[in-house]
Amino acid sequence: MIATAELTDPTVRAFVAAVNKHDKNAFDALLAPGATMSDDGSDRDLAEWTDREIFTTRGHMDVVEEADSGRSLVVDYRNDTWGSMRTRWEFTVDGGKVARFETGQA
């Protein structure tokens, strides 16, 4: 596992920390205006998805590996709904904010 503090990209590092601390305010502050996301290749409503998959279900990211200067992660992700699964996360960062992230099973 890669410790959150050791992740290369500072915005992605803050994203993982916000998820793991269940800090919705910090998470929301990291998103660019109009940020988007997809899950398993399908665009989703970002607010609804993150509420359901992260914040009300105690989502947690254990980073296994990173690539693309820290903007591509392989993560052991777990929450109270789905349990644990290996996932991939790809981030588009613009001006220190997450403009888009894509996730899905790895």
Average pLDDT over every residue of 72-91: 97
CATH of residue 47's domain is 3.10.450.50
Among 82, 39, 73, 80, smallest CA distance to 56 is for: 80
Q: Which domain holds residue 28?
A: 4-105
Q: Confidence class of residue 9 from pLDDT cuts 50, 70 and 90? A: very high
Average pLDDT over every residue of 10-35: 98
Domain count, the chain: 1
Distance from C-alpha of 64 to C-alpha of 50, rounded to nearest angstrom: 21
Terminal-residue alpha carbon distance, the chain: 16
Helix then strand then coil, % of the chain, to nearest 5: 35, 45, 20
Distance from C-alpha of 31 to C-alpha of 60, rounded to nearest angstrom: 18
Residue 67 burial (CB count, 10 A): 12
Is 13 within 8 Å of 7 (Cβ atoms)? yes
Q: Confidence class of residue 83 from pLDDT cuts 50, 70 and 90? A: very high
39-51 pLDDT, tens digit per residue, is 999 999 999 999 9
